[in-house]
């Protein structure tokens, strides 16, 4: 007899989501309330972008158990994709009523509040999220973007910088940090931020430029040239 959990795991690991959907549908023909089939069908639908179908699967589970965490989270994410922010907030409240330290729900609620224009409330939630998980990139980035949107550019910069520390390959943090510096009229810092330099490295380079009476751009290019020479 085929173990559905093992079979579904194979489909997901092989990224055969259509096969996973078909398998779940066959299970549901035998038992319309099969929780394993409904959960995995909802997840597979979400992965392929069928968000309305994800919500239908989740609602069938939630009808039996209104507090089923996985179903509520899947529904929350699907609603977020559909930009149904008020309904997203409802899902967040269900999750947070069970666990007020659910960082995923706190960040998602913050984003939904941003989308509905409640930016100060969103900041409070990102701050709380970061108290619980100081390296949460979603909370850090949304905190930074919200602060920038509110014109608090100086406050936003350390958050962008921390994102760069955690995820150096995430180029948007450098771009947005550069924009924040430009808004503050700090062109040299904006230039260095655009090159991907973190704050501490930028300060060292600016000090080097001052010591040698170079422009910041010249000091940066000279450092990059010397670095490439060492590699060669």
| pLDDT tens per residue across span 131-142 | 999 999 999 999
Q: Does domain 1-82 have CATH number 1.10.8.50?
A: no
The structure's pTM equals 0.88
User: What are the pLDDT digits (tens) for 101-130?
Assistant: 999 999 999 999 999 999 999 999 999 999
State the SS3 of the chain. Answer: CCCHHHHHHHHHHCCCHHHHHHHHHHHHHHCCCCHHHHHHHHHHHHHCCCHHHHHHHHHHHHHHCCCCHHHHHHHHHHHHHCCCHHHHHHHHHHHHHHCCCCHHHHHHHHHHHHHCCCHHHHHHHHHHHHHHCCCCHHHHHHHHHHHHHCCCHHHHHHHHHHHHHHCCCCHHHHHHHHHHHHHCCCHHHHHHHHCCCCHHHHHHHHHHHHHHCCCHHHHHHHHHHHHHHHHC
Examine the pLDDT at 197 and tell me if it is beyond 70. Answer: yes
């Amino acid at each position: 007899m085929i173990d559905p959990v093992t079979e579904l795991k194979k489909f997901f690991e092989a990224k055969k989501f259509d096969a996973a959907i078909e398998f779940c549908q066959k299970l549901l023909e035998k038992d319309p309330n099969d929780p394993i089939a409904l959960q995995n069908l909802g997840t597979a639908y979400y992965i392929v972008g069928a968000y309305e179908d994800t919500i239908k699967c989740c609602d069938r589970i939630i009808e039996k158990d209104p507090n089923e965490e996985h179903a509520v989270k899947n529904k929350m994410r699907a609603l977020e994709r559909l930009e149904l922010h008020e309904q997203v907030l409802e899902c967040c409240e269900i999750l947070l009523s069970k666990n007020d330290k659910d960082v995923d729900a706190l960040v998602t609620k913050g984003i939904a509040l941003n989308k509905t224009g409640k930016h100060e409330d969103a900041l409070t939630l990102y701050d709380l999220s970061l108290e619980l998980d100081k390296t949460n990139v979603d909370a850090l980035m949304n905190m930074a973007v919200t602060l920038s949107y509110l014109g608090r550019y100086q406050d936003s910069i350390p958050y962008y910088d921390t994102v760069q520390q955690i995820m150096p390959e995430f180029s948007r943090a450098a771009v947005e940090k550069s924009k924040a510096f430009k808004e503050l009229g700090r062109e040299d810092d904006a230039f260095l931020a655009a090159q991907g330099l973190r704050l501490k490295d930028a300060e060292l380079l600016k000090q080097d430029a001052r010591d040698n009476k170079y422009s910041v751009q010249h000091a940066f290019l000279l450092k990059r040239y010397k670095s490439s020479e060492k590699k060669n």
